[in-house]
Structure 1
Amino acid sequence: MARTFTAKAHSHHDLPTYPILPFGWQRDAFIHLVERVAPHLGVGRAAAHTWTRLAAMTRPTDWVEPDREPSVYAAASELAKMLALSEARLRAHTARLEQAGLLERRTAANGSRSRQAGTGLFFSGVIDRFSDLLALDAQLTTARHKAIYLRGQRSTHWRCLRRALEQLRDVASQDARVQAMEDAWAAWPRADRLHAMTLDALAAHEREADTLTRAALDLLATLRKSVDQPLENERSHLQDTSEDFSLSCDARTEGRRFAVEPTLGHPSRPRRVSSTTDAEDRRKGGPNAAGREWLIKLGPERLFRLASPEMQFYLSGRADPERLRFHDFIWTAERRVLELSIHSSAWSDACTAMGEDGATVAMLILDARRDDPVAPIISPGGYLRGMTRAWLQGHLNMMGSLIGLSERRRREEAL
């Protein structure tokens, strides 16, 4: 909240006091704050740019000293020249800015401005609104992060649905249900159109996309069983006869044909794993084993039991543990990324390096270990980035971490 200090007596007169920016805030940081929220105050881009340039003409100390008031005294004609605007355009901008409460015009009877007369353009009013503007900025930031999360989940549904539809075409290309799903998928807005959608519309579309994806996975499982064919990557009946939950949702980008392939040579970039390394990792069962054989063997019920209570809450709302698919775990992991305030880039980097399957299991491990009695996780985002770096260096043993979680669950249940 803007603070006001009591002025000291000076030359037998009380000096006026003005609102100032809170401690730690300076003029330029406040200008950036106003720039971010201006469109949501009904101020157009051109008028907001004019405000920014006008505010930058003031002295920085005038925003933080209680006996000073940030202001611009230049005549309108001079300001118009300085801003490369016509006087009419400048008047229109300042009128809109005043209406939005971002500045105040004080003019003499003849319209002149001068420091001596105390006339000009003044910014005390907008400083006085600091708390409201800061709250609006926080609200917009939350909405922006929510939109990023929803677009990410839509992208996850897009990739998984594409894979499911490819397999459905192989099984029953003439089935009317498959064609209906193809048509519904084709009607989805393009990824670049998602940015123009309201938050409510985006949330509704994400729910529809999730519903269609799950319906396609269910139909695929039903049709595969009806023709007595195993699902792709289906577990052997010797291991588990429950429905397959590991339908591949590999890290592909919407609109692209091929999966993202890691590159070599930079520690912050995904590591290209050669076929030789791939085979060796498979043989050794190492932490970077390609494919998802070890995930398949775990099964959905085991992963569910190892998950945190928060993850289990979301997973339970989607299906019984034995009927969960890996798509449900990815959906839940992305929700926890948002709730744990993990930056979207950390999740994106993890998916690029480990694939969505690996990144999802990493999130499950991270989330379950947040309240570890011995070594709790203080910074989930930093921990996820550390896991990604360890994966790229070949040091991340997720199977070992899952075994550790399993042992911890056994100890807790024995108490």
Structure 2
Amino acid sequence: MQTYTSTTPFGRRALSLGMISSQVASKAMPKDATVHKWHVFQNIKEARIALGATDRALAILDALLSFHPETALYGDSELIVWPSNEQLIGRANGMSPATLRRHLANLVDCGLVIRRDSPNGKRFARKGYDGEIEQAYGFDISPIVARAAEFKELAEAVRAEKKAHRLVKERLTICRRDIVKMIEAGIEEGVPANWGRVQQAYQTIVGQIPRTAPRQVLEAIATDLEDLWSEVRDVLESFVKTKNLNANESQTERHIQNSKPDSKNESEHRLGKIEEASGSASDPDNVRSLPKRELPLGIVLDACPNLLWLVKGGSGIRNWREFLAAAEVARPSLGISPSAWEDARTAMGEQQAAITIAAIYQRQDQIKSAGGYLRNLTDRAKDGKFSVWPMVMALVRAKLDAAKVANSGVAEAADELETAGKVVRTEKRLEISDALRQNLDRRGPKS
């Protein structure tokens, strides 16, 4: 009959308050408690980081649980196992003895097992005459039963945190994708907004995302991104509603005009349509017929090469950001006020306004007032009657025409040079006497 249970470790191992706490919890365990040891072990694995246990320590705990013959652990049963180090090493995938001792100490420190050391430190069990175990020395796994509810709560908390972390990362991914695509749609569709600043705000928020971060940090960044998403979405929805409203009003007006079958009204309607087709209403149709995609940077630089003069160091313009910076330098040299520049960027978008500045800078010798010209184009852009495509294409055609003229002049000079060469070569082939040449000179040309 067992009358005393060891509570201190063997040898030079010191007793800690954590060990005493584990022993107290084990004594307070209800006698009718029953747990499935592998279910509890699964909870311990999921709550490993919160408990402070290492992965190797859990491999040893797995081996220790395998030495208990029963799958169900009861609070009123003997829960001590006494495998030797060699047996533990065999079931713990062959780790070294030093590693085994280190991670056994980790299990004890985490309160997952309790040492029940014998007087000489050996692990064994003493049986009575009836074959029942009277005294056992080894590792007490009763904390698996005593703390089963605690392990379950920790595992559920860890699972909930992992799920919340996964959800906030999904929010970030979807929000980033939506914002990028909405900015692209706004620029391609010509929605009036300062898209350059929107892109800058987006890059500022995204730049705060670390490689690894706790959920709370990602939650704050996701909130900022969702605020920006709402602003961009509101701009696009307002533009769509305004466009649909204008279309509905135009359709209603046409329906009223066509609802009267009088021949006179029909002739006036046809006349009105002809005047509309020949007047200013054709401008927006021409603008809408232009490509909706952005102008490639290479075409813009080919049409406006003078802008390259403003780049420091002569390194050229490699991307749209450097192009916008060059346009900012060209703007004051053209005498364009900051207010006119701001209005143009709001009406056209930052990139389109910069292309307009580059085109004006390319033709500055033909434009008397660059600021007035830009304001005129801004007003047309507000009415949806302006696109940078015709300006750039006109500059490209002018450049091609100039190249053709230069090439034709070179060709004419080459033809004249070739004709003169032929005359020289012909004269060299015709050899006449001096008397015949003098006779020909006296006769002169016939009248």
Shared fold, TM over 0.5: no
- Structure in which a larger fraction of residues adopt helix: 2
TM-score by structure 1 length?
0.45
TM-score by structure 2 length?
0.42
Return the index of the structure with the highest Cα Rg: 2
